[in-house]
A and B are shown apart, each in its own frame.
Chain A
Amino acid sequence: MALKVTVTEDRWFSRTVHLDGRLDSDTAEDLDKEVDTLVHSAANVLVFDLANLEYISSAGLRSIFRAQRAMAARSGRIVLVHARPQVQKVFEIVKAADLASIFTSIQELDEYLDAIQQRIVDESSH
């Protein structure tokens, strides 16, 4: 089944990658290509919105981990939000649930991004 990837910019330093459909051995490459583009943008944080992701396999996990490594190499990070039970289950099985700072609510995410934004402001004023 197909995967639709939509990217939105919510803050100047973050991009939200909305995944619609399934992330598996068929579609993981599509996400890799999109991430390669985003890693070279101004984004310091990549948010993966998994609200409409109904299925993920190990190929999909590797794609997410690849994004995490790419962002980390540029001192950035990824965040996962709104994982459905089926997807959450897979992350938990591979014990990766804590690796990417999974937040479930937009409020938690906003607080987290607020903190990053504040830190960036603090650092640039020195």
Chain B
Amino acid sequence: MSLSSGALLGPMSSEQTFRIHNRPRDVTAVLNRVEEFCRLHGFATATVLDVRLVTEEVLTNVVKYAYEGVGDYQVELRLSASDHSVRMEFRDEGAPFNPLDFPAPDPGNLTEGRQPGGLGIHLARSLVDDSSYSREGNVNVLVLIKHI
């Protein structure tokens, strides 16, 4: 039996790293691969979609805020899964930017179009159990862990 990254993986840990450029099409491509990774691990559909949602919200925020005004750059996602949790580590070399600093959006403001990044990060945080940010040299490191 050969174990390629495409095989159905049973009860064992597994990791995968994705690197994308700051193009919307690249974000979509990695979201599809993240979803595939989760499905191969046999996660329930709700969990698969939650992980995709968290990843979409963080990547679109990092792309928007950490690199404003700069040209081509890369964002890295280190995804690892066990039977009980999914760990998402986002790394980028943009300006120091901690998405966790965004305040939770005020429900009264939602329909008035005044919530740029807060809504997405609030969603992401609500769907994971642990979140932490650190700066390693010139790299933003955001770790989100979802218990399953």
Contact = CB atoms under 8 A, between A and B. Distances in A.
B56 A25 contact: yes
Interface residues of B, number: 23
Interface of B: 24, 27-28, 32, 46, 49, 52-53, 56-57, 60, 105, 107, 110-113, 119-120, 122-123, 126-127
Contacts, number: 60
Interface SS of chain B: helix, strand, loop or mixed?
A: helix
Most chain B C-beta atoms within 10 Å of own C-beta, residue among A26, A57, A69, A86 = A57
Given A62-B119, A85-B46, A86-B49, A94 B107 contact: yes
Contact of A26 (B28, B57, B105, B120): B28
Interface SS of chain A: helix, strand, loop or mixed?
A: helix
A55 B52 contact: yes
A57 B57 contact: yes
A11 interface: no
